[in-house]
Structure formats: C-alpha cells, structure tokens
A and B are shown apart, each in its own frame.
Chain A
Amino acid sequence: MKCRSCRAPAVIDVYRHNAAFCHPCFLRHCREQVERAIKSFDMIHPGERVLVAVSGGKDSLALWDILLQAEMSADGLYVGLGIGDYSSESRRYARAFAELRGAKLVEIDLPTDFGYDIPTGSSAAKRAPCSACGLSKRHLFNQAALDGGYDVLATGHNLDDEAAVLFGNVLRWDLPYLGRQFPVLPSGDGFARKVKPLVRLSERETAAYCVLQGIDYIVEECPMSAGNRHLRYKEALNDIEARSPGSKAAFYFGFLERLAPLVTPAAEEEREGLHPCPRCGSPTVSEVCAFCKLAARAGGHS
C-alpha cells in the first residue's frame, strides 16, 4: 500500500478516508485534523493558555503532544483516581511525557486531596464506576482550569468517544445531554471553556499517532471500565463502520450540522437554573452539587 500524499510505502490505512499514509504524512494528517477542528469550531485563540486533561492514555497524550508541536501554551492536568496499580501506572506515563517534553504537569490526587477513591465512591454512591469517575473528573478539571486562570480546558475525546456518547443519548432521546454534546462549550456561569480538539480523529488514529511519534502510553484498559455501556456502543458502531466506512463520522458530524442547533435550547434552559453549590461554589441545579454529594457519601470531603 502506498501513501496517499507522497506514494512512499504506507504504515497505516485509514479506512474511512479510503487512504493510507507513510509515517511523516500520517503525523501531518493528524496535526492537520486537529488544526482544522480548532479553527472550524473556534476552540482556541492565539496566545491563550490551555490546560490539557491528561490520563496517561493515548488520546490525551497525543492531544498534548499536538498542541505543544503547534507551539501552544499547554500545561497538563493529571487526576489520580485511586484505582490501584492502574492509577500508579497511568501517572507514571503522564509524568514521563511531561518530563521528556519539559512541560508542566499539574497533579491532583483524589484520595490525598479529597479523601476518597473511585472504587469507594462508586460503591458508596451506588453509581457505576465510570459514572463516579466521570463526575469527579468533570468537577476537578473545571475547578483546576478556573483556579489556574487557564483560558480553556482541552480533553482528549475523539471521534469514537463522541459518536458512542451520541449513540447513547439518541437511544434515550436525552435532549439536555444532546444539547450539550458540542465540541466546544463556552465559559461562564462558573464553567471554564471546554474543547475537544480530537473530534476529527478516530481512536485508531490517535493510537497510531502515539506509536509513530514514540509516545509511551498506558495500553491496558482501566480495570473498572470492563463491560461498560460506552464500550458496547463503540463495538456496535465499529461493526457498522467495518461494513460501511465513514459511518461514525457521518453520524457525528451530521448531528452537529443538522440536529445540534435544534436541541441546544434544551441545554440552555438547564443552564438557566444553575446556582453556586453552597459547599464548593461549583455551578449546580441541585441544592448541593453532585461532586460534594459523592465525596460526602464516600467519606471524603470537597
């Protein structure tokens, strides 16, 4: 197979583009896709300070690398979740990347700083582990971006993540969630601006980017995520994609173009009911925010 751009021997085929790329052309392809996402969705402006949420996995490290390669001011944020060896390993990858690039890594440790870990939080609050984890991370990422005075918080959600979340939201016709599923969420009302610059890349592409760029990342999957609903949605979408390449991108970008404008008011309505949590000051529609409730149930503090 030859590279689509330069006809040199290819190292990866990207089925949805019906194309293959050699090593240097693939790295350029990934950087161009990120640049295109940033520009077309107006994610990050020149000179802004970016905080990248880094897990030690392929997506967040690829994102951090691409932003640094683009000479952006991008610090990393690692949140230790207290998931045994998996957390120690993932922290090691995040630290090693930061050290090698001479980049700043901000660290928060859930057990040390907030008195609970994800396994405890999950069982105490009777939430699925991924739900307790997502809730904690969303709160801590937002707070760290605001506290650090960053202009924007970037996460490594890729095309597969977004298509799978969209699939789940459509199955439930969850209008407020659908209304929030945009690759840029504006700042205001206690929220930092949140952006997802990898939405034009599949996770196969972000993994290949890491392999070709020599980025070591944690390959093992989080032991608490096995069998979760999100993974099942991804498998279903990949079955469709294998038979009909381009389906995931058409599903997600078709939503953004044609349906998102119609469901945005549902999310805006919900945002109107926000007020600061009396315990931590974060925006919430409940009496006490979900993070403070989770921390209290798990015997921790916020």
Chain B
Amino acid sequence: MKVLLRNPRRELELRGPMVVSVLLQRLDVNRESVLVIVDGTLVTSDASVGDGSTVEVRAVISGGAS
C-alpha cells in the first residue's frame, strides 16, 4: 500500500493488508492527532487496508495560538 503523510509531506510503501490501528502504531503516530483516509474514504481504526490501497494519514493538529 502507498502511505501519504503530511507536515512534512512524504510517501511510504508498506505491505498490506494491515489494520489501521496497527498501521498507526507502526508509523509511531498518535491516533488522536490524525485522520486516516483510505482511497478517499474516511475509515475507523479497525478497518483493514488492502495491499493496493492508497492511505492518507492526515495530521489534524494546528498550531499557532499565541
């Protein structure tokens, strides 16, 4: 599967299938700080991601408050 990460933008290739919660653990990403979008669709942490899928791990934390 192709995994897209943001801030900074980068791309990884991982072998599927894999459950979303396992994918986030493997990427060392806190589940509170991202949305996972598989082939354009928002998914829950128990969803399984197939080998040919494109996964966007979209960061949701914005900074900037003074």
Task: Mark A residues whose CB is within 8 Å of B.
Answer: 1, 10-13, 15, 20, 57-59, 128, 130-131, 133-135, 157, 160-161, 164-165, 202-204, 206-208, 211-212, 219-222, 224-226, 228, 230-231, 234-235, 238-239, 241-242
Residue of A133, A235, A241 near B64 (CB, 8 A) is A133
Residue of A13, A157, A203, A220 near B61 (CB, 8 A) is A203
Residues of B in contact with A, size category: 20 to 34
Given contacts A208-B42, A211-B37, A219-B6, contact A15 B63 (CB under 8 A): no
Question: What A residues does B32 contact at CB under 8 A?
Answer: 15, 202, 204, 238, 241-242
B60 near A: Cβ within 8 Å? Answer: yes
Residue on A with the closest CB to B40? A211
> What 13 new A-B contacts, CB under 8 Å, besides A225-B62, A238-B33?
A59-B62, A130-B65, A134-B66, A160-B61, A164-B65, A203-B62, A204-B35, A207-B35, A220-B6, A231-B61, A241-B32, A242-B31, A242-B32
A-B pairs with beta carbons under 8 Å apart, 12 shown: A1-B44, A1-B46, A12-B42, A204-B32, A204-B60, A211-B37, A211-B42, A225-B64, A226-B63, A231-B61, A238-B33, A241-B32
Question: What B residues does A203 contact at CB under 8 A?
Answer: 60-62
Is B63 within 8 A of A242, CB to CB? no
Question: What A residues does B46 contact at CB under 8 A?
Answer: 1, 13
Is B63 within 8 A of A231, CB to CB? yes
Residue on A with the closest CB to B31? A242
Given contacts A207-B58, A211-B35, A220-B6, contact A134 B42 (CB under 8 A): no
A133, B64: Cα distance in complex, Å: 8
Is B62 within 8 A of A208, CB to CB? no
The majority secondary structure among interface residues of chain A is helix
Is B42 within 8 A of A212, CB to CB? yes
Residue of A1, A134, A219 near B65 (CB, 8 A) is A134
Residue of A20, A58, A242 near B62 (CB, 8 A) is A58
A212, B40: Cα distance in complex, Å: 11
Residue of B41, B59, B60, B65 near A11 (CB, 8 A) is B41
Residue on A with the closest CB to B47? A1
Question: What A residues does B60 contact at CB under 8 A?
Answer: 58, 203-204, 206-207
Question: What B residues does A235 contact at CB under 8 A?
Answer: 30, 33, 61
What distance in Å separates the Cβ of A232 from its nearest Cβ neighbour in chain B? 9
Residue of A15, A135, A207 near B66 (CB, 8 A) is A135
